[in-house]
Amino acid sequence: MPIRRRPPDLLRRSLLAAPALIVLVPEAFAAAIVTPAQTRGPYYPVAKPADSDLDLTRVAGRSQRAEGEVIEVTGRVLSARSGPVAGVGVEIWQADNQGRYHHPRESAGTADPNFQGFGAVRTGAAGDFLFRTIRPRFYGSGAFTRTPHVHFRVVAPGRPELVTQMYFPGEAMNARDALFRSLPGEAARDALTAVLEAADLPRYRFDIVLA
Ligand SMILES: [Fe+2]
């Protein structure tokens, strides 16, 4: 008795249909790699500011806005296995428009008093977060020059914390930054490089994928 074969077109269709059954998370996320960790660096706040909200461009009780180009940094925290994670603590800290941190290691009083320097939020139901801040300036000199970057600390319940850094797309200094260069390959560098979504008020998207 001859072996019955499935008609080729039916077989092809079932193969094409198969990925749709397996992929339970959005396409853009399915292709993403787990976000690489990077050093915390020396400038994590010793004392977090009283005003630690999502808007780093204004400090409560002060009338002036922070110096520099205002930007938004937005994204989602995703689990590599199960998609968006709600209720995750996301912290950022960064240099100001002169490349200075609010930290005892800086010369006292040199950081912009109108710049909050640190912000903390929790992700929403879709794993989403948003900060309003300024584009940080580079700092350091010679081989120790740091390209503009934003530090992130992500604390999800039941998981080890993730500390990493976000870089800006199209920034020429990235190629000379020792920490950026130390990332193992293009996929890792892409994972830590934000995507410019809107240019009028520059909005950078930085999705974070937890293992
Ligand atoms: Fe830094």
- Tell me, what's the pLDDT at 109? 76
pLDDT greater than 60 at residue 20: no
Round the average pLDDT of the chain to a whole number and report it: 88
Ligand 1 centre distance from Cα of residue 100 (Å): 9
What is the tens place of the pLDDT at every residue in 96-127?
999 999 999 987 779 999 999 999 999 999 99
Strands 128-134 vs 195-198: parallel, antiparallel or unpaired: unpaired
Residues in the chain: 211
Please report which residue ranges of 23-127 form alpha helices under DSSP H.
27-30
**Radius of gyration in angstroms for the set of CA atoms belonging to the chain, rounded to a whole number:** 21
Q: What percent of the chain has pLDDT over 90?
A: 80
Amino acid, res. 59: V
Ligand 1 centre distance from Cα of residue 21 (Å): 42
Alpha-carbon distance 178 to 167, whole Å?
A: 13
Secondary structure of residue 165 in the 3-state scheme:
strand
Alpha-carbon distance 20 to 18, whole Å?
A: 5
Ligand 1 centre distance from Cα of residue 2 (Å): 70
Alpha-carbon distance 18 to 15, whole Å?
A: 5
Ligand 1 centre distance from Cα of residue 62 (Å): 25
Query: Tokens 């940094």 sit at which residue?
Result: 73
Ligand 1 centre distance from Cα of residue 201 (Å): 23
pLDDT band for position 4 (cuts 50, 70, 90)? very low
Cβ-based neighbours of 29, under 8 Å, separated by 6 or more: 78, 83, 207, 209
- Tell me, what's the pLDDT at 10? 39
Q: Which residue has the higher pLDDT, 133 or 6?
A: 133
Domains within the chain, CATH numbers bracketed: 32-210 (2.60.130.10)
